């Protein structure tokens, strides 16, 4: 690839327009001590094949999960991605599509979002879903803002301490400039959000509970809905593993007013932690409070199906002071990826994948317990769980990563200082019985 600099004639022509005689005059506003006087040490140019080789050598220094056995989750999960998805999503119609400023002209984009929103509402059991969020954390923060704006008498929102730690930080970042606060609800010895502590909290605008929670345990969402109703506040649920609802009762059936979640598991590669896909859904009652766009299906003048931008409560479409959010991207490619994934695997496929995740996690937990690990919570979980590890595990974990291409668990002390020697383990359909047996053998 060639770099074509400005010619001498180009520079003289531009200087005439700016009124300077030389480039030194053009940059005279920059203090001399900030200017580089020596030649910049830039390597010589490379041929195309030499550059490709250099980039491949750099890329080989990175670790890819496809080459490693991954027993970690914590909000980003290793799943099989059907071959049809990267093929379809790389088509130019999807890959290069941009947010349409004349929406009805872009029928393909609108249909894609419509199908995505339809399948998300079915998965979560909600009435409406938006398409505009970067990840679960930002979607959850938007849900918290909805609750706070709706209940103007309260400036606090109750958030379970078992909501993903990063997502709690994002909520804080969103709401603190407006004078709002988070009240964290502690967890019990069973690894669940403390209902009794929550019942004693007053002057809150909403309740946010993650299920499965950060420890992987399944919360009783219906019970929290009752608490929210008693306090007359919005009930918000969140999740990081969307495939869990292939087995679990969805949030809608448990009475959630708003649901925020992560859609990375729906055909999206982990890719160094991003980008993710924020899912945000709600009841019809909350539709005009939700940020993002809603796509509807109608008939055109010829009687054919057509898709329209039914509602968009974003500053991009309405006056800034009336907007519910300043989000300016709809993560369209990732939303399309999730839609293709959901359509590809279908209802039966999602249930089968979810069952494999749960069953392999149960087997992994039992195998590690036989190797000397201690069970911490006797609570139903999906595909993640917490164990107390024996002395010397940290060194074995490092050796496994360096020599055996295996990632074994997340140290929870980083997020919960009281949980020393406690690790969060995860199993998905990508792991075989042999992989699990091998890990249990290595850590003995």
CA dist 206 → 109, 121, 403 (Å): 34, 22, 48
Helix (H, G, I), strand (E, B) or coil at 213: coil
pLDDT the model gives residue 321: 66
pLDDT the model gives residue 1: 46
Residue 294 has pLDDT above 50, yes or no: yes
Residue 91 has pLDDT above 70, yes or no: yes
Exposure string over 225-245, b if 16+ CB within 10 A, otherwise e: bebbeebebbbbbbbbbbbbb
CATH numeric code, 84-342: 3.40.640.10
pLDDT the model gives residue 106: 82
CA dist 268 → 198, 216, 340, 342, 343 (Å): 35, 21, 11, 12, 14
Task: Kindly indicate whether the domain formed by 65-80+347-442 is annotated with CATH number 3.20.20.150.
Answer: no
pLDDT the model gives residue 314: 60
Higher pLDDT, 359 or 43: 359
Find the mean pLDDT for residues 209-232. 98
pLDDT in tens, 59-86: 888 876 677 899 999 999 999 999 999 9
Helix (H, G, I), strand (E, B) or coil at 254: helix
Residue 296 has pLDDT above 80, yes or no: yes
> How many angstroms separate the CA atoms of 213 and 27, rounded?
56
pLDDT the model gives residue 109: 86
Before 212, cis peptide (omega within 30)?
A: yes
pLDDT in tens, 172-209: 999 999 899 999 999 999 999 999 999 999 999 999 99
* Parts of the chain belonging to CATH 3.90.1150.10: 65-80+347-442
Write down the mean pLDDT value for the chain.
91
Per-residue confidence band for 2, with pLDDT thresholds at 50, 70 and 90: low
pLDDT > 70: percent of the chain: 93
* Parts of the chain belonging to CATH 3.40.640.10: 84-342
Residue 322 has pLDDT above 90, yes or no: no
pLDDT the model gives residue 108: 86
Residue 138 has pLDDT above 80, yes or no: yes
Residue 110 has pLDDT above 70, yes or no: yes
Residue 328 has pLDDT above 60, yes or no: no
* 0.75 surpassed by pTM: yes
Find the mean pLDDT for residues 250-261. 97
pLDDT the model gives residue 331: 74
pLDDT in tens, 381-436: 999 999 999 999 999 999 999 889 899 999 999 999 999 999 999 999 999 999 99
CA dist 88 → 343, 344, 356 (Å): 12, 11, 26
Beta bridge partners, 443, equal: none
pLDDT the model gives residue 318: 62
The β-bridge relationship of strands 206-210 and 156-160 is parallel
């Amino acid at each position: 690839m060639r770099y074509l600099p400005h010619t001498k004639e180009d520079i003289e022509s531009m200087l005439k327009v700016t009124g300077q005689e030389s480039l030194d005059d053009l940059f005279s506003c920059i203090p001399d001590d900030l200017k580089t006087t020596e030649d910049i040490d830039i390597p010589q140019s490379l041929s195309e094949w030499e550059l490709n080789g250099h980039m491949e050598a750099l890329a080989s220094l990175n670790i890819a999960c496809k080459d490693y056995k991954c027993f970690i989750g914590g909000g980003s999960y290793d799943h099989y991605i059907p071959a049809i998805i990267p093929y379809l999503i790389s088509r130019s119609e999807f890959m290069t599509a941009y947010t349409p400023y004349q929406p009805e002209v872009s029928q393909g984009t609108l249909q894609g979002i419509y199908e995505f929103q339809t399948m998300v509402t079915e998965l979560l059991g909600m009435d409406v879903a938006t398409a505009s969020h970067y990840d679960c954390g930002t979607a959850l923060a938007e849900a918290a803002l909805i609750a706070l704006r709706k209940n103007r008498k309260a400036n606090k929102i109750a958030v379970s301490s078992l909501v993903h730690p990063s997502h709690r930080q994002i909520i804080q970042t969103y709401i603190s400039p407006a004078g709002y606060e988070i009240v964290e609800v502690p967890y019990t010895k069973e690894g669940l959000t403390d209902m009794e502590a929550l019942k004693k909290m007053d002057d809150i605008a909403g309740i946010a509970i993650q299920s499965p929670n950060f420890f992987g345990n399944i919360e009783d969402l219906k019970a929290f809905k009752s608490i929210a109703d008693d306090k007359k506040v919005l009930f918000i649920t969140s999740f990081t593993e969307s495939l869990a609802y292939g087995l679990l009762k969805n949030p809608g059936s448990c009475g959630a007013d708003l649901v925020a979640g992560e859609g990375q598991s729906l055909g999206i590669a982990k890719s160094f932690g991003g980008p993710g896909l924020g899912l945000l859904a709600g009841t019809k009652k909350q539709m005009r409070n939700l940020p993002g766009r809603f796509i509807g299906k109608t008939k055109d003048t010829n009687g054919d199906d057509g898709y329209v931008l039914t509602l968009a409560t974003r500053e991009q479409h309405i006056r800034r002071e009336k907007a519910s959010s300043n989000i300016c991207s709809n993560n369209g490619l990732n939303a399309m990826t999730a839609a293709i994934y959901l359509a590809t695997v279908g209802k039966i496929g999602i249930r089968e994948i979810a069952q494999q995740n749960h069953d392999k996690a149960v087997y992994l937990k039992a195998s590690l317990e036989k190797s000397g690990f201690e069970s911490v919570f006797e609570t139903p979980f999906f595909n993640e769980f917490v164990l107390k590890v024996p002395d010397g595990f940290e060194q074995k974990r490092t050796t496994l990563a360096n020599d055996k291409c295996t990632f074994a668990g997340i140290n929870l002390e980083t997020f919960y200082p009281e949980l020393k020697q406690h690790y969060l383990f995860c199993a998905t359909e990508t792991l075989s019985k042999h992989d699990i047996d091998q890990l249990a053998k290595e850590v003995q």
